[in-house]
Amino acid sequence: MQRSSLSALAALPTLALVFALGSDARADRLPERAREVVDYAINVRLDATAKQLYGQERVTWRNPSDDSVSELWFHLYLNAFKNTRSTFFRESGGQLRGDRATSDKWGWIDVTSMKLPDGTDLLPSLGFEHPDDDNAEDQTVARVRLPEPVPPGGSLTIEIGFKAQLPQVFARTGFRRDYFLVGQWFPKLGVYEPAGTRGRQTGGWNCHQFHAHSEFYADYGRFKVEITVPAGFVVGATGERKERRENKDGTSTHVFEQGDVHDFAWTASPHFIEVKRTFSAGKDVTAKEYEDTARLLGRTLEEVRLRDVDITVLVQPGHLPQAGRYVDSAVLAIKHFGLWYGAYPYPTLTVVDPAPGAGGSGGMEYPTFITAGTSFLLQHWPFDKIRAPEGVTVHEFGHQFWYGLVGNNEFEEAWLDEGVNSYSTGKIMEIGYGKETSNVSFLGLRLGEVETTRLQNNPERRFGKIRTPSWGYLTSSDYGFNSYARPELVLRTLEAYLGEQTMARVMRTYHERWRFRHPSSDDFYAVVNEVSGQDLKWYFDQVVEQSGVLDYEVSRITSRKLPEPTGAFDRGGKPDIVDGKEAKRREKEADKKGTRQYESRVELRRLGEVAFPVEVELLFLGQPPERRTWDGKDRWVRWDFVRPEKLVSARIDPDRKVPLDASWLNNGKRVEPNRRAAASWSARYLFWVQQALALLGL
């Protein structure tokens, strides 16, 4: 899987030059460290038989605001799986992403102690909160009142004891047999947002309940976690492994540490096979790629330089032949995300391949730790060209940038991580696996990223808007479309509008400016406006802030020989009476001479609510295509032409620069129909109906 060492050697002199020319601007633009608001030191023991966790947590919180804060808000996410009355269960009905909860394998977390270092017991003041839906039976958010407020800039340390029962995996976290994916497992502080953060007028806690579709939001800090598991278990986790010790009681303890992250997850199973590979910033990226990226982004070579990353894939024995697919796609992702947005700053990346039957824990992101997922079928022809393991690895790695490093609020503005990441992922999948085949190339069927995403777009998608809290959508499908697919289409359309270079610089600047911080949609718009030099409020207002569809069509097209006018005319002062017969004669004469004109008409309509400028290509017989731009603001426009050439066709957005358009089929129309495609597919339809009838004995 290593790239050719020869090409790497060839690149060395150029690289040396590249780095010699570098400047110190990188440190100015790309923050090296987060402002660490929290420190967690957790000691946890896994009872692999009872599927329980016993933990001791010492959390230190620094008040980042100018307020005196007299209470702390915690997430107790595992209580989402406590019973069918939790908000998560009420909203999801006990199923998520195709997985269903097991009725007798619930999960929960009990806080057994909560003390200040001086021994003050905080447990009596602990109570559950329901800020989103007033569901009194939901216990996923807790608030504790402090005896003394934490002053601005001050800090507080609390000792917490907890016991957790893991659910059987169906929504991200839990166990399956002796496989454990432990996420959202410890009492985790919410985010105290100072005034001004994400448009807040006053400071306050942002700590939402666990919803069916929501993900997470937390503050940056340092984690040191000691995980004790039965000896023989292979453990992977967020961050770097600092120590591993075997205990006398038949267990082993694994110590992981990581700074500048806002969550911690881990996995354990005796069956994992570890596959390791180092991403080499010198060998895996060519000098030309560095140069091209620097030019594209308007950055120095030093600014776009990447760092080495140790990749560990924890793969199931039955999926070992696919380990290379995980590794290669992780390398692809580290390279392109890093080049485009800024180097991945952590030294490790762990990719987890979930156990059979634990698919619900797959496709999830945590800092430096992602879960992917595959099936044994995908290692055999012809299914090996279904790029699910690659797609999910690239996407979850992408969350290291959009969710991890740029820590938007996933509860309230999921599009800023899922949507922006889908846009980035799609582009990288196209680079790695081909534009038309980036997702599927299976027995002649091809499915590229744009087509896959557009499959979800249609004229019915007018009831949801992108900027909506994730629990505020009418349906799950609306959440998915408006958080993933639509933002991807919005950003691809924006890229076509601004140009590739401007868009690349927009995204780079947005990432640099908001790395290790919590941006909102408004912060994103501000960067777009600043870098592009345009006020694009009209665009974001329509496609992010409001619901609506973008759809243009060529509604009518005609082209006919111009009839000779009839009636009484003055021709050079002499009367000229043209009756029908005379008109016909003149038409014939003009036909003979070839001077007859064509009268053509094109009507375009805006079917959707969203107005967007579009290019229109007109094709006249024997002439090169002509292009016009329509600002698309009116609901319709009509163009008339009188020319010697017959109009053949009219086509809106001929270069497909507006993937947000709900239908490309109605974008064009021709004067004379061509029934070849209809004939070809009707014949196929006939053939397969015949086959079906033959199967039924006819």
Partner 1 sequence: MFITCALRGLGRALANPRLAVLLWLVNAGVAAIAAIPAFFHLSSALGSRPEGDRLLDGFSFGLMAELGHYQGAWAGILMSMLLPLAAVALLGNALISGGVLEVLTAQDDRRLLHRFGRGAGHFFGRFFRAGLVAGLVGLVVAGVLAALVRWIGRRLEDSAWEPMGFLVALVRFGLVALVVLVVLMALDLARVRMVLEDSRQAIRLFFRSLTFVLRHPVKVLGLWAVNSVVLGGVMLAYLAYCSGFPATRGRFILAMVIVQQAVMLCRAGLRVGLWAGEIALWERMAPPTPVRLARPEPVPAESPAPPEPTAFASTEALSPTDPALAEPQPAPEPPAREPEGR
Residues found near partner 1 in the complex (CB under 8 A): 177, 271, 316, 318, 355-357, 375-377, 444-447, 451-452, 454-455, 458-460, 557, 649, 651, 663-670, 673-687, 689-694, 696-698
Give the H/E segment covering residue 206: strand 204-206
In whole angstroms, how close is the CB of 559 to partner 1 at the nearest point? 13
**160 vs 429, beta carbon nearer partner 1:** 429
Q: Are 433 and 338 in contact (CB under 8 A)?
A: no
Please count the CA atoms within 13 angstroms of the CA of 4 that sit on its side-chain side: 5
Q: What is d(CA 181, CA 164) in angstroms, rounded to the nearest whole number?
A: 13
Backbone angles phi, psi at 239, to 5 degrees: 90, -165
**79 vs 649, beta carbon nearer partner 1:** 649
| CB-CB neighbours of 513 under 10 Å | 18
In whole angstroms, how close is the CB of 210 to partner 1 at the nearest point? 27
In whole angstroms, how close is the CB of 609 to partner 1 at the nearest point? 17
**228 vs 439, beta carbon nearer partner 1:** 439
**50 vs 678, beta carbon nearer partner 1:** 678
Q: Are 387 and 350 in contact (CB under 8 A)?
A: no
In whole angstroms, how close is the CB of 611 to partner 1 at the nearest point? 21
In whole angstroms, how close is the CB of 270 to partner 1 at the nearest point? 11
In whole angstroms, how close is the CB of 567 to partner 1 at the nearest point? 34
In whole angstroms, how close is the CB of 297 to partner 1 at the nearest point? 32
Q: Are 409 and 518 in contact (CB under 8 A)?
A: yes
Closest CA to 111 of 101, 100, 121, 119: 121
Give the C-alpha distances (Å, rounded to integers) separating 179 from 164, 327, 369, 376.
Answer: 16, 21, 16, 17
Burial class (CB in 10 A: 0-12, 13-18, 19+), 692: exposed
**2 vs 680, beta carbon nearer partner 1:** 680
**247 vs 682, beta carbon nearer partner 1:** 682
In whole angstroms, how close is the CB of 14 to partner 1 at the nearest point? 41
- In the numeric block, the tokens 């994730």 are attached to 470
In whole angstroms, how close is the CB of 94 to partner 1 at the nearest point? 17
Give the C-alpha distances (Å, rounded to integers) separating 397 from 95, 330, 335, 366.
Answer: 25, 7, 11, 9
DSSP string, 69-134: EEEEEEE-GGGGGS-TTSHHHHHHTTEETTEE--TT---EEEEEEEE-TT--B-GGGEEE--TTT-
What is the DSSP pairing of strand 38-47 with strand 221-230? parallel
**452 vs 623, beta carbon nearer partner 1:** 452
Residues 6+ away with beta carbon under 8 Å from 282 = 8, 11, 12, 15
**360 vs 519, beta carbon nearer partner 1:** 360
In whole angstroms, how close is the CB of 421 to partner 1 at the nearest point? 22
Q: Are 552 and 652 in contact (CB under 8 A)?
A: yes
In whole angstroms, how close is the CB of 680 to partner 1 at the nearest point? 5
- DSSP bridge pairs for 59: 40, 158
Closest CA to 493 of 450, 461, 463: 450
Residues 6+ away with beta carbon under 8 Å from 157 = 58, 59, 60, 61, 116, 117
Residues 6+ away with beta carbon under 8 Å from 141 = 73, 74, 75, 76, 128, 129, 130, 131, 190, 207, 208, 209
In whole angstroms, how close is the CB of 351 to partner 1 at the nearest point? 18
- DSSP bridge pairs for 99: 96
**146 vs 447, beta carbon nearer partner 1:** 447
**125 vs 547, beta carbon nearer partner 1:** 547
Q: What is d(CA 66, CA 73) in angstroms, rounded to the nearest whole number?
A: 18
**414 vs 489, beta carbon nearer partner 1:** 489
In whole angstroms, how close is the CB of 602 to partner 1 at the nearest point? 13
In whole angstroms, how close is the CB of 480 to partner 1 at the nearest point? 16
Query: What radius of gyration do the chain's Cα atoms show?
Result: 30
| CB-CB neighbours of 294 under 10 Å | 20
**574 vs 675, beta carbon nearer partner 1:** 675
Backbone angles phi, psi at 512, to 5 degrees: -60, -45
What is the DSSP pairing of strand 348-352 with strand 309-315? parallel
**25 vs 693, beta carbon nearer partner 1:** 693
**247 vs 458, beta carbon nearer partner 1:** 458
In whole angstroms, how close is the CB of 625 to partner 1 at the nearest point? 12
Q: What is d(CA 459, CA 662) in angstroms, rounded to the nearest whole number?
A: 6
**231 vs 693, beta carbon nearer partner 1:** 693
